[in-house]
Amino acid sequence: MKGTKRIITLFALVTAISFLSSAQEIKKEIPLKYGATNEGKRQDQAMQKFRDNRLGAFIHWGLYAIPGGEWNGKVYGGAAEWLKSWAKVPSDEWMKLMDQWNPTKFDAKKWAKMAKEMGVKYIKITTKHHEGFCLWPSKYSKYTVANTPYKKDVLGEMVKAYNDEGIDVHFYFSVMDWSHPDYRYSIKSVEDSIAFNRFLEFTDNQLKELATRYPTVKDFWFDGTWDASIKKNGWWTAHAEQMLKEMLPGVTINSRLRADDKGKRHFDSNGRLMGDYESGYERRLPDPVKDLKVTQWDWEACMTIPENQWGYHKDWSLSYVKTPIEVIDRIVHAVSMGGNMVVNFGPQADGDFRPEEKELAKAIGKWMSRYGEAVYACDYAGFDKQGWGYYTRGKNGEVYMVVFNQPYSGHLTVKTPKDISVEKASLLGTGEEIQVVETARNEYNVSVPKKNPGEPYVIQLKVRAAKGTKGIYRDALT
Ligand code: JFZ
């Protein structure tokens, strides 16, 4: 009897504690007007296209391409597109560079061909970077391509040329604008607040202008949104997102735009992702073992080829320059964790690309044309990471092993999730059958190809899910 009582008391106590903690959780939910708007991942067609594209290229092109990191005889090692800030150049002086904007070698069709050959499915173009120079003839600013010797709407030409090649166009847009007198880093007075409201109206006008002039744009990638002034105006970031979504059905927006009512950025005060995809992975990637949480939302990473140069810098010897294989590794790494990767290019002021970038684009394209099946429309496979490389999963439940580290043992270890077995393996491209030996429950040795391909290669696995298995492989049940 005593024992029963004790159990009942214990039971009551546990119930009370769990009730209290769940009540606390409810209390923890912070009411927000400008928080996240999506419940989980968006599943509409436009978002699926965004996700399936997987590989994109960034174009950072602006006045900064002219000095290429050098001001008054001094070469600055920092990011070239920030030169105005490193060299403390006043805006009116910086904007004199407009007189030299004459990219006579610019040929949008050539650019689009280069992207096509590289295998990118979308391109992110800097419509306006922090400097404030607009690649389109904006009627809201005098600092635009229209007021240069070249005159032409380079953005318009790019949109058309890329679209003609079947490449989606995304717009990079910096909210922070060093050229605008009403921009404020923080709001310290009523005057600041009035000026900044004018600035937000100007920004709205430019965004509406872009959406109207180039209605095939698929995505806005906002930048320059980290200042206190914008964090204080979370309402505006929600408004801008909504405005663009009303104007351009299906358009996708990055999390970097957003701040909530409390100035919390990317993820709102309740921990929910704002915008449609997370855009915080820049020049770094999530850890493939520790950071699997990223597979819960859509995300896109972007990377530079030198350590940190987005715009054209004349001297790439100042930092390490990644090899094509290192770039391919990062692309696959991102896809293996359910993300997209955007590789950056900083075209020269004359409208051509530097030789290193042309070669890199070619090398990536060559690899993608052989192994792209393991990248496009692929996702997180749910298999434990192994040292030889990365897994991705295709739409029909096939699993790809992208091998970057060729083992001396002659075999690659595969550990499958519970109830998943490997049926067959073959080399992508040649179709060579690859030997699979079961070594323990849910463990296999997958042989390397007979002849070393001499480059990262892909082995396609046909897997089978045991009857009644739930989760991502249930569709593979045949
Ligand atoms: C920004 C820009 O300042 C830079 O010039 C470039 O355009 C890049 C793509 O974006 O730089 C950032 C912005 C955000 C982070 C880091 C660098 N971040 O969130 O870690």
Question: Looking at residue 25, what is its pLDDT?
Answer: 55
pLDDT band of residue 13 (cuts 50, 70, 90) is: low
Q: 237 CA to middle of ligand 1, Å?
A: 18
Question: Looking at residue 18, what is its pLDDT?
Answer: 56
- Any ligand 1 atom below 6 A from CB of 282: yes
Q: 158 CA to middle of ligand 1, Å?
A: 23
Q: What is the pLDDT of residues 130-146, one digit of tens each?
A: 999 999 999 999 999 99
Residue 18 tokens read as 């769990």
**Confidence check: pLDDT of 477 > 90:** no
Q: Whose Cα sits closest to atom 3 in ligand 1?
A: 224
Which is the closest atom of ligand 1 to the Cα of 256?
Answer: 19
All domains of the chain, ordered by start, with CATH?
A: 45-374 (3.20.20.80), 389-465 (2.60.40.1180)
What gap in Å lies between CA 159 and CA 380, rounded to an integer?
Answer: 31
Q: Whose Cα sits closest to atom 17 in ligand 1?
A: 282
Q: What is the mean predicted confidence (pLDDT) over 452-460?
A: 98
pLDDT band of residue 467 (cuts 50, 70, 90) is: confident
Q: 223 CA to middle of ligand 1, Å?
A: 7
What gap in Å lies between CA 364 and CA 118, rounded to an integer?
Answer: 6
Q: What is the mean predicted confidence (pLDDT) over 12-37?
A: 70
Q: What is the pLDDT of residues 259-298, one digit of tens each?
A: 999 999 999 999 999 999 999 998 999 999 999 999 999 9
Question: Looking at residue 463, what is its pLDDT?
Answer: 96
Ligand 1 site-directed mutation target among 59, 223, 308, most atoms within 8 Å of CB = 223
Q: Whose Cα sits closest to atom 16 in ligand 1?
A: 282
Question: Looking at residue 4, what is its pLDDT?
Answer: 56
Better pLDDT: 478 or 424: 424
- % pLDDT > 70, the chain: 93
- Any ligand 1 atom below 6 A from CB of 79: yes
Average pLDDT, the chain: 94
How far is CA 438 from its chain centroid?
A: 38
Question: Looking at residue 468, what is its pLDDT?
Answer: 77
Q: 401 CA to middle of ligand 1, Å?
A: 32
**Confidence check: pLDDT of 475 > 70:** no
CB under 8 Å to 35, separation ≥6 — which residues? Answer: 260, 261, 268, 269, 270, 272, 274
**Confidence check: pLDDT of 59 > 80:** yes
- Any ligand 1 atom below 6 A from CB of 223: yes
Q: 168 CA to middle of ligand 1, Å?
A: 22
Question: Looking at residue 26, what is its pLDDT?
Answer: 57
- Could you tell me the pTM of the whole model? 0.93
Lowest mean pLDDT among 100-109, 423-432, 464-473: 464-473
Cα dist. 119→59, 371, 393 in Å?
A: 15, 11, 19
Q: 311 CA to middle of ligand 1, Å?
A: 12
- % pLDDT > 90, the chain: 91
Question: Looking at residue 1, what is its pLDDT?
Answer: 45
Angle in degrees, CA 85, 91, 93, rounded to 5: 105
**Confidence check: pLDDT of 476 > 60:** no
Question: Looking at residue 184, what is its pLDDT?
Answer: 98
pLDDT band of residue 8 (cuts 50, 70, 90) is: low
CB under 8 Å to 71, separation ≥6 — which residues? Answer: 83, 86, 87, 89
| Radius of gyration, CA atoms only, the chain | 25
Question: Looking at residue 466, what is its pLDDT?
Answer: 87
Q: What is the mean predicted confidence (pLDDT) over 216-238?
A: 98
- Any ligand 1 atom below 6 A from CB of 81: yes
- Any ligand 1 atom below 6 A from CB of 357: no
Please give the backbone phi and psi of residue 425, each rounded to the nearest 5 degrees, phi first: -135, 140
Question: Looking at residue 469, what is its pLDDT?
Answer: 74
- Any ligand 1 atom below 6 A from CB of 268: no
Q: What is the pLDDT of residues 302-361, one digit of tens each?
A: 999 999 999 999 999 999 999 999 999 999 999 999 999 999 999 999 999 999 999 999
Q: What is the pLDDT of residues 379-437, one digit of tens each?
A: 999 999 999 999 999 999 999 999 999 999 999 999 999 999 999 999 999 999 999 99
Better pLDDT: 290 or 474: 290
Q: What is the pLDDT of residues 185-208, one digit of tens each?
A: 999 999 999 999 999 999 999 999
**Confidence check: pLDDT of 371 > 90:** yes
